[in-house]
Amino acid sequence: MANTNVYSNNLPLHLTKTELEECLQKYGTIVSSRVLKNNQSGVSRGVCFVRFSTHEEAAAAIEAVNNTIPPAGGTAPITGTAPHADKAGFRTRYCNASFNSAGAPVPMINATLPKVAWTMNMAAVEGSVNDSYKFNPWRAPGYAPVVDPCGQAGGKYKQTPMGGDSAYYTTKYATMGDLGTQVLPEGPSMATWKAGSSVQVTWGMRYNHGGGYQYRIAPLSSDLTEKTFQKMPLEFDITKQVLVWNNGTRFPIEGIFVSEGTWPLGSTWARNPIPRVNDDNKGLADFAGCPGPDGKSGKRCIQFPAPCPQDVGRYPWSEDGSGQGACSGDWTAGVIEDTVIVPLNAAPGKYLLSWRWDAEETAQVWQNCADITITA
């Protein structure tokens, strides 16, 4: 069921439940409402929950009253939960309007992803105030710019004051900020693929930021730029996506793949099938479904239904402190296996396989590469 609840704060402390409903009833039928009060003093906390009869009515109320001064003596704007200041790209564009992926149209396009492929904030009305992830990479797959198609050590340059909780320990291969295509030496071929064949690829996560991904290849001898890799995206066999647990257990699932609104135009991307488990839904359309402080605080902390039947919640969570279920959250219990098709016209030789993960929860793009060989 779509969310029909509205959460607001900064209400005047003397505003009554009756006055609250009088303010909001123009937007739809109010099923119930509640003004939260201090348990000891009985004084209003300036916070309310209002349930409308339909999701559309709730969304209309949010759009109309968010950031407005309330009646009856209010001085501060009514707001839903404040945006997550710790998440780059939350309700704001991380890049400027002319900064796009190499070769993609400029200026930067708006969100293009069909809602069926969203991984976060499913109750939001597309394009609304509470559509808090609309500027992040997964909402326009492939369009966000990257610094290197094989990734960057630590995710940022040393001198850059952004990039989240970036941490990197210098190794013999790289130091923070180094670019994968520039510093990593050629390694042994990890696989030999025949042109035109179907092959299996896998990836795993440590932290789940939603979103989706694509595999691409480029000849090792070519100019190894993002634009070069975009010339050879690998097609998925969309009938074959499998969860593979670390103990070898396999569970085929019905994946969600999208080729609408993607870059390169018409290329296929796969939705991350493991649902994110939020610590709270702060700043999202369904705050009441996960008020915090952790992912056990509400039934809708999990952002969409888990794909395996044994995941009935977020319990028991991993002993390492991760919020994960049998196939949800920061899933370290296994990997996602896909089947991709090697282009029939790929010339024999050495190649790099690039994996690109466009996140939805944050303004991040994760990438890495592997050496492979293609034969005729």
Sign of the dihedral defined by the CA atoms of residues 189, 191, 192, 196, in that order: negative
For residue 25, report the phi and psi dihedrals to the nearest 5 degrees. -65, -20
- Single-letter residue type at 16: T
Distance CA 128, CA 130 (A): 5
8 A C-beta contact, residue 234 and residue 338: no
In tens digits, the chain (376 residues) has pLDDT values of 345 677 777 778 888 888 888 888 888 899 988 888 887 788 887 878 788 888 678 777 877 777 676 655 555 666 554 556 667 778 777 776 666 676 777 666 778 999 999 999 999 888 887 888 998 999 999 999 999 999 999 888 888 776 556 778 899 989 999 999 999 999 999 999 999 999 999 999 988 999 999 999 999 999 999 999 999 999 999 999 999 999 999 999 999 999 999 999 999 999 999 999 988 888 888 888 888 888 878 888 899 999 999 887 655 545 555 568 889 999 989 999 999 999 999 999 999 999 999 999 988 999 999 999 999 9
Q: pLDDT value at position 136? A: 92
Q: pLDDT value at position 81? A: 46
Distance CA 169, CA 188 (A): 24
Q: pLDDT value at position 163? A: 57
Residue that the structure tokens 């109309």 belong to: 64
Burial of 206 (0-12, 13-18, 19+ CB in 10 A): exposed
Q: Cβ neighbours of residue 324 under 8 Å, at least 6 residues apart?
A: 277, 314, 317, 318, 330, 331, 332, 333
CA gyration radius for the chain?
A: 23
Residue that the structure tokens 């008020």 belong to: 291
Distance CA 9, CA 173 (A): 50
Answering whether pTM is above 0.85, one says no
Q: pLDDT value at position 287? A: 83
Q: Cβ neighbours of residue 361 under 8 Å, at least 6 residues apart?
A: 87, 119, 120, 133, 136, 209, 210, 211, 276
Cα 108 to Cα 141, 226, 303, 368, 376: the distances in Å are 12, 17, 27, 24, 39
CATH 3.30.70.330 residue ranges in the chain?
5-65
Q: pLDDT value at position 38? A: 80
5-65: CATH homologous superfamily? RRM (RNA recognition motif) domain (3.30.70.330)
